[in-house]
Amino acid sequence: MPTPQAGKRLLIVHYSQTNQLTRAVDALLAPLRNQQDIELVEARITPRTPYRFPWRFLDFLDVFPESVYMDPPEIAPPNFDPDEHFDLIILAYQVWFLSPSLPMTGFLHSESARVLRGKPVITLIACRNMWLTAQAKMVATLAKRGAYVLDNIVLVDSAPAWSTFITTPRWLLTGRKEAFWKIFPSAGVSAQDIADTARFGRALRNALPSLPAQPKQALLQGLAAARVDPRYIASERIGHRSFLLWGRLLRALGPPHSTVRRFVLVLYAFFLALMIMTVVPITLFFAILLRPFVGERLKTAARHLEGPSGSNADRCTEYL
Ligand SMILES: Cc1cc2nc3c(=O)[nH]c(=O)nc-3n(C[C@H](O)[C@H](O)[C@H](O)COP(=O)(O)O)c2cc1C
C-alpha torsion 64→70→76→82, nearest 10: 160
| Any ligand 1 atom below 6 A from CB of 22 | no
| Any ligand 1 atom below 6 A from CB of 11 | no
pLDDT band at 130 (very low <50, low <70, confident <90, very high): very high
For 11-41, write each residue's pLDDT tens digit.
999 999 999 999 999 999 999 999 999 999 9
Residue 2 has pLDDT above 70, yes or no: no
Q: Please state, rounded to an integer, the average pLDDT across all residues of the chain.
A: 94
Residue 230 has pLDDT above 90, yes or no: no
Residue of 233 and 316 predicted with greater confidence:
316
Residue 16 CA to ligand 1 center (angstroms) comes to 10
**What residue ranges do the domains of the chain occupy?**
8-228+308-319, 233-300
Residue 95 CA to ligand 1 center (angstroms) comes to 5
| Any ligand 1 atom below 6 A from CB of 275 | no
Residue 4 has pLDDT above 50, yes or no: no
For 207-226, write each residue's pLDDT tens digit.
999 999 999 999 999 999 99
CATH of the domain spanning 8-228+308-319 = 3.40.50.360
pLDDT band at 6 (very low <50, low <70, confident <90, very high): low
pLDDT band at 282 (very low <50, low <70, confident <90, very high): confident
- Cα distance between residue 153 and residue 306, in whole Å: 9
Residue 177 CA to ligand 1 center (angstroms) comes to 13
Note the pLDDT of residue 256.
94
Residue 214 CA to ligand 1 center (angstroms) comes to 32
Residue of 231 and 144 predicted with greater confidence:
144
| Any ligand 1 atom below 6 A from CB of 24 | no
CA of 21, closest atom in ligand 1: 26
For 172-184, write each residue's pLDDT tens digit.
999 999 999 999 9
Average pLDDT over residues 87-94: 98
Which residue out of 17, 20, 102, 128 has the highest number of ligand 1 atoms within 8 Å of its CB and is therefore the one to mutate? 128
pTM of the model: 0.95
Note the pLDDT of residue 3.
47
pLDDT band at 150 (very low <50, low <70, confident <90, very high): very high
Other residues' Cβ atoms within 10 Å of the Cβ of residue 33: 12
What's the chain look like in SS3?
CCCCCCCEEEEEEECCCCCHHHHHHHHHHHHHCCCCCEEEEEEECCECCCCCCCCCHHHHHHCHHHHHCCCCCCECCCCCCCCCCCCEEEEEECEECCEECHHHHHHHCCHHHHHHCCCEEEEEEEECCCCHHHHHHHHHHHHHCCCEEEEEEEEECCCCHHHHHHHHHHHHHHCCCCCECCCECCCCCCHHHHHCCHHHHHHHHHHHHHCCCCCCCCCCCCCCCCCCCHHHHHHHHHHHHHHHHHHHHHHHHCCCCCHHHHHHHHHHHHHHHHHHHHHHHHHHHHHHHCHHHHHHHHHHHHHHHCCCCCCCCCCHHHHC
Note the pLDDT of residue 1.
46
| Any ligand 1 atom below 6 A from CB of 94 | yes
